[in-house]
């Protein structure tokens, strides 16, 4: 039985509950009340570097994908964190609500999770087996907030993680919006963290002292910084500009949002630096995809620029939890 069929059975059970007069209880579950937001003070204090490789659960969609966590695992192993392992649950453009609410279908669930690394999200979180959980909301983020109760479901997932294991490190993966409007793309990468990622999505969770800290993996800000650094360099071997980080359709049309192997490598470096509080300089750049096939590798010059930019951004942002003065 496919997982969407299982979700369908769960939805049917919920409908029976509603028919039996359980609407009030379910409505409270589906749209949890959030504390009022009186300020935007981050609840993301400095963390101690993890002493060993972590078990990490990734919840999200195609901007997580299977290859990026597999690259992260290879980076962690190369850095000596040999115990690093991961599981995931994905969908096509999946919202935090769709992963949580059995009444909401997760598009592409069966195909995206046809991997040994998949573990059902509720089971995974309830197990308390993970040292870190990385939560990912859909983009366009404005739509996730307006139409899919993004802040409420982020809060609900954080509550579930804390209930299962209070010391789990919880991260929000800050992604990026599409490049359809190329003139505003960099401006939004600069402005969205304060206006949307932190100001709208995270602020209600940060305002709830019982939810505990939630830190940020700032891939969007890394992407902006790398774009500018590459432009200042006038391009590098194998990468003329930032569009070379993105997939292309068979006819050569640029995919507006999805990364290729080079983009996934940049994002994996960002995850590594945040999770392990360690500069990624010198880590390997010739990796494999999740299926074991060789990934397209950045040139040594591009890899070095990526690694330097990642560490500069991650170590400069307090919301990552990486303490200022961590080893370069």
What is the pLDDT averaged over residues 78-105? 97
Rounded to whole angstroms, the Cα distance separating 64 from 60 reads 6
What is the pLDDT averaged over residues 28-51? 72
Task: Check if the beta carbon of residue 303 is closer than 8 Å to that of residue 200.
Answer: no
| In the predicted structure, residue 150 carries a pLDDT above the cut 70 | yes
Percentage of the residues of the chain whose pLDDT score is greater than 90: 84
| In the predicted structure, residue 59 carries a pLDDT above the cut 50 | yes
pLDDT at residue 289 in the model: 98
What is the pLDDT averaged over residues 41-67? 97
pLDDT at residue 23 in the model: 26
* 203 band by pLDDT with thresholds 50, 70 and 90: very high
The mean pLDDT value of the chain amounts to 90
Task: Check if the beta carbon of residue 99 is closer than 8 Å to that of residue 121.
Answer: yes
pLDDT at residue 180 in the model: 85
* 38 band by pLDDT with thresholds 50, 70 and 90: low
| In the predicted structure, residue 19 carries a pLDDT above the cut 60 | no
* 153 band by pLDDT with thresholds 50, 70 and 90: very high
What is the pLDDT averaged over residues 238-264? 96
| In the predicted structure, residue 246 carries a pLDDT above the cut 70 | yes
pLDDT at residue 328 in the model: 46
pLDDT at residue 17 in the model: 37
pLDDT at residue 325 in the model: 60
Instruction: Identify which has the larger pLDDT, 29 or 226.
Output: 226
What is the pLDDT averaged over residues 101-118? 96
CA distances (Å), origin 57, targets 147, 220, 321: 26, 20, 18
What is the pLDDT averaged over residues 60-68? 98
Quick count: other Cβ atoms within 10 Å of Cβ 12? 12
Topology of the domain covering 53-320: Rossmann fold (3.40.50)
């Amino acid at each position: 039985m496919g997982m969407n069929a299982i979700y369908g059975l769960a939805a049917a059970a919920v409908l029976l509950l509603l028919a039996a007069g359980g609407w009030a209880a379910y409505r409270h579950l589906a749209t949890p009340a959030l504390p009022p937001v009186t300020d935007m003070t981050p609840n993301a204090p400095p963390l101690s570097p993890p002493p060993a490789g972590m078990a990490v659960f990734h919840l999200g969609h195609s901007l997580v994908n299977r290859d990026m966590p597999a690259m992260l695992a290879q980076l962690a192993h190369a850095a000596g964190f040999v115990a690093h392992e991961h599981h995931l649950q994905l969908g096509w453009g999946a919202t935090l609500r769709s992963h949580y609410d059995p009444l909401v279908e997760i598009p592409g669930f069966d195909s995206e999770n046809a991997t040994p690394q998949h573990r059902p999200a509720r089971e995974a979180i309830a197990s308390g087996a993970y040292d870190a959980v990385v939560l990912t909301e859909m983009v366009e983020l404005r739509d996730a907030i307006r139409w899919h109760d993004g802040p409420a479901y982020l809060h609900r997932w954080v509550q579930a993680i804390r209930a299962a294991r209070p010391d789990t490190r919880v991260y929000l993966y800050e992604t990026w919006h599409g490049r359809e409007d190329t003139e505003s793309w960099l401006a939004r990468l600069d402005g969205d963290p304060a206006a949307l990622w932190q100001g709208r999505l995270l602020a209600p969770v940060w305002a709830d002292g019982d939810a505990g800290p939630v830190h940020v993996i700032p891939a969007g800000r890394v992407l902006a910084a790398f774009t500018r650094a590459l432009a200042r360099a006038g391009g590098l071997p194998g990468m003329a500009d930032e569009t070379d980080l993105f997939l292309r359709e068979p006819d050569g049309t640029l995919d507006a949002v999805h990364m290729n192997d080079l983009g996934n490598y940049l994002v994996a470096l960002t995850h590594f630096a945040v999770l392990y509080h360690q500069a990624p300089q010198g880590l390997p750049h010739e990796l494999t995809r999740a299926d074991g096939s060789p990934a397209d590798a950045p040139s040594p010059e591009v890899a070095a620029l990526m690694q330097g930019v990642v560490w500069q951004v991650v170590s400069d942002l307090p919301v990552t939890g990486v303490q200022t003065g961590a080893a370069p």
